[in-house]
Amino acid sequence: MAFLRARHWACVLILMWVSGAAQAGTAEVRAKFRPDPSNPMVNRFTNVTPSTGFCQHFAYYCDPRGWFSLNLPVGVITGAPVAANHDDPRQGVYLKIPSEWRTVSVNNDKGDTGELEVRISGIGGWARHGGDVMQITNGGGYEALWSSGRWHKAPAPCLPTGVLNGTSYQVQWLWLVPEYAGACVTQALFNLPVFYYASLYFTYELRTPNPLSMPAGTYHGQMLYTVGPGMDFDFGDITLANDNTFLVNFELDVDHIFKVEVPPGGNRVQLEPQGGWQAWLQNGRKPTRLYRDQTVNLWTSTHFKMTLECGVPMGNTCSVSNGTHQVPLDLAVTLPAGLSDAAGRPVNHLPLRLDGSGSERFQPNRYIDRKPSTLHFAVQADAVAQMLEQGSGTTYSGTATVVWDSEI
């Protein structure tokens, strides 16, 4: 008799940036992974962080594009007057952000680690210029106020989003920033009584780890950004933030699925020769091998191992006996496509041994959703010959327990 046992393990991966409740100087981002049976080939984290700033107000524009934005937690941003046609770009609108990809290490309380990448991909906010733009420009408006025209046009290397909001006293905007872009600069063509940002926000992109390669658990990591002239976030020389650093806290949560389903009666396995016993009973043809293939259904989005436990071991495997005579019982496993062994090879008739060699780790490259795997039970030819010689007419039996274990 064979006993089949699986150990369940649930895991959740969350990448987290909480916004509204965060203290000044911090931001949090949250994403999570849980396999989707309706789309098993998609194995990515989902960003579940509520947007603040631009994408909170323009969700209809951001959501279809997969954009996320957060308020920049740097406190009050002070400003100063701006002279018309200033020669120094840092004396006007000057915005430079860390648009390159940066790596963040994350780990859980069990010591498992992973790496994600983050990039600041856009900058925006509310810009105020100290008066009525129509009066400042003698009726020319925003198009006449700045060397690059209205704010929705975006000075190079920034890219426009085409979205703009505001009044004649302030404007709400967002510019996209390509990778490794420099500062985005525009020159005031009229004197401004004061220029400052009532608030700033940024958009971001994430490259999250492969969740299928990560054990279950909650992972944490941080990225420190600097704010000020010559720093990560550089707003020029006339607009200065109250805080010169802020932290982004990442929390990654992975929720795996792991389940084994044994069909009714599948835990009792009866071995027979190929074609059954009729060839021996009718023609006296002795069987050369006894075997049975047992199918079980498997769900998994995480790695696991398989181990073997025996009622009566024999060598590195189990055995069956008639009470006086014992022969080895060999077990092997075939796993569905999408699962590989530790060396990346498909698993086909892989022996299961008491010492666990060869079955220490199986890794999915996609979510396995109720796919059949096969356990192969066999008594080989030399052992069958012994049974026919020493135990003819008797019944051989034994127990073998196969364990699927995701707690590696």
Residue-level pLDDT at 2: 42
Q: If we measure between CA atoms, which residue out of 139, 122, 118 comes closest to residue 173?
A: 122
- Give the C-alpha separation, 381 to 291, whole Å: 11
- Evaluate if residue 14 carries a pLDDT over 70: no
- Strand ordering across the sheet containing 400-405: 2-7, 400-405, 305-310
H or E segment and range at residue 135? helix 133-136
Residue type, 155: P
For the domain with range 258-405, which CATH number is right: 3.40.1350, 2.60.40, 3.90.25, 3.40.50? 2.60.40
- Evaluate if residue 159 carries a pLDDT over 80: yes
Q: If we measure between CA atoms, which residue out of 86, 50, 205, 184 comes closest to residue 127?
A: 184
Phi, psi of 335 (to 5 degrees): -105, 155
What is the average per-residue pLDDT within 131-148?
96
Residue-level pLDDT at 10: 27
Question: What percent of the chain is predicted at pLDDT more than 70?
Answer: 92
Distance of CA 401 to the CA centre of its chain: 33
SS3 322: coil
End-to-end CA distance of the chain: 27
Q: Residue 274 — pLDDT band, cuts 50, 70, 90?
A: confident
- Give the C-alpha separation, 189 to 28, whole Å: 39
- Give the C-alpha separation, 83 to 187, whole Å: 9
- Evaluate if residue 18 carries a pLDDT over 70: no
Domain boundaries, the chain: 25-254, 258-405
What is the average per-residue pLDDT within 349-358?
97
Residue-level pLDDT at 284: 63
Name every residue whose Cβ is closer than 8 Å to that of residue 176 and which is 6 or more positions away in sequence: 121, 122, 154, 158, 159, 160, 161, 203
Which tens digit of pLDDT belongs to each residue from 27-71?
Answer: 999 999 998 888 888 889 999 999 999 999 999 999 999 999 999
Task: For residue 211, give both structure tokens.
Answer: 């969740």
What is the average per-residue pLDDT within 227-250?
96
Instruction: Count Cβ atoms within 10 A of the Cβ of residue 171 and give its class: 0-12 exposed, 13-18 middle, 19 or more buried.
Output: buried
State the chain's mean pLDDT as an integer.
90
Which sign does the torsion angle of CA 190, 192, 196, 198 carry? negative
Question: Is the distance from CB of 74 to CB of 200 less than 8 angstroms?
Answer: yes
HEC string for 373-387 = EEEEEEECHHHHHHH
Burial 84-116 (b: 16+ CB within 10 A, else e): eeeeebbbbbbbbbbbeeeebebebeeeeebeb
Residue-level pLDDT at 22: 35
- Give the C-alpha separation, 8 to 10, whole Å: 7
